[in-house]
Structure formats: structure tokens, C-alpha cells
Structure 1
Amino acid sequence: MTERTTAVDAEEVRHVASLARVDLADDEVGRFAEQFEDILTYFERLDEVPEVDHDADLTNVMRPDEPRECLETDAALENAADTEDGFFKGPNVS
């Protein structure tokens, strides 16, 4: 893993906080600077992941859509807790 040459300073943390419209207390700025530094280090580690030269062999595991017989309305509503005018009825959402 490569070391970062520049650390995240308090000014950068305050700038990012202002862009995000977040008010930070002075004691929080140092903690966030360390966390930003850790996050940027993780992003640098992504550079170490080898590139893939080929696409993965993917296969479709889904069945093709085919028309088929459906349930009659009475059979579909047979076990429903509540129905109205031939439809399922659920609770009101406000």
C-alpha cells in the first residue's frame, strides 16, 4: 500500500463540511480529518486491485417468459383476508 503524501488538514475538512452544510465543532474537525484520511487510503488500495482482461462468462438462469393460464378471480381471492369488488383490499396508507 502506498502512503499518502499529503494529509487531510482542518481547512479541507471545514470546506467539505460547508459544502455538505454540516456544522462541525472545533473538536470534531480533527476526528473527521483522520476519518477522511482513512477513507482516502482505502481508495488508494483500489489501485492495487488487478485489472480483469476479459468479461466473465455469464449465463441467463431465468426461464423465458411464456404465456400460460392464470387463476380465476375467485380462486386468486379465495384466501385473501379482505377483498372489495373483485380486488385484494389492504390497509389505508396515509
Structure 2
Amino acid sequence: MEITQDAVRRVAALARLAVSDDEAEHLAAQLTDIIGYAELLQTVDLTDVLPTSHPLSLYNALREDESRPSLPRDIALANAPDDDGEQVRVPAVLEG
């Protein structure tokens, strides 16, 4: 399947992108190559290949949750630029 320069310009217009004639020509050639490669991949025999979501075996590397003492409040607030004795104060970031 060949992607034309007109198709590139049409898609660029839909995406509200400015594309020069040289860029349209270059992109049309690149997209034609990409589509050609995708078509080539469609010809690969996959009858003995199991479907998978990832080519590598994945495992969960998280540790188990365990309860332990937290940092005392006075130490946690020691380096805070502004606090009210119980929590860190931060500047408002929302308007209104």
C-alpha cells in the first residue's frame, strides 16, 4: 500500500499540523515503508506461537506490607520551610 502526499496532507490538516511539500513527500515515503513492513509481518506463520502480552516473563518484585514505626512528627517537620506544628504548610496552587 502506498501512502500519497495528499493523504499525508489530509491527516496533517486533521491534526492541525503545517506540512510543507518536501515534508509531505518525505513522510509519504516513510509511511509507505512502515505500512510495507507491517504487511510483511502479516505473512509470518504464527500457528505454533502462543499469544502473549509481553515477550519476557514478568514477576511482581514488591515486598509484603509490614507495619513498622513511622518517623516522629517533630523530626519530619524539622526541615519543613513552613509548618503549623502538625503539618507542612504549602502555598495555595488553586485559584478561587
Letter of the structure 1 residue corresponding to residue 8 of structure 2: V
Secondary structure of the structure 1 residue equivalent to 2:66: coil
- Of 29, 38, 51, 2:33 maps to 38
Q: Which residue of 1 aligns with 2:24?
A: 29
Secondary structure of the structure 2 residue equivalent to 1:22: coil
> Offset at 1:73?
0.5
Alignment of 1:1-94 (within 5 A): 6-44=1-39, 47=42, 48=44, 52-53=49-50, 58-78=58-78, 80=79, 82-86=81-85, 87-89=87-89
CA RMSD of aligned residues (A): 3.3
Query: Is the contact between residue 5 and residue 25 of structure 2 (CA under 8 Å) also seen in structure 1?
Result: yes
CA distance in 2, matches of 1:53, 1:82: 56
Q: Mind listing any 5+ residue stretches in structure 1 that lack a counterpart?
A: 1-5
Structure-2-length-normalised TM-score: 0.60
Structure-1-length-normalised TM-score: 0.61
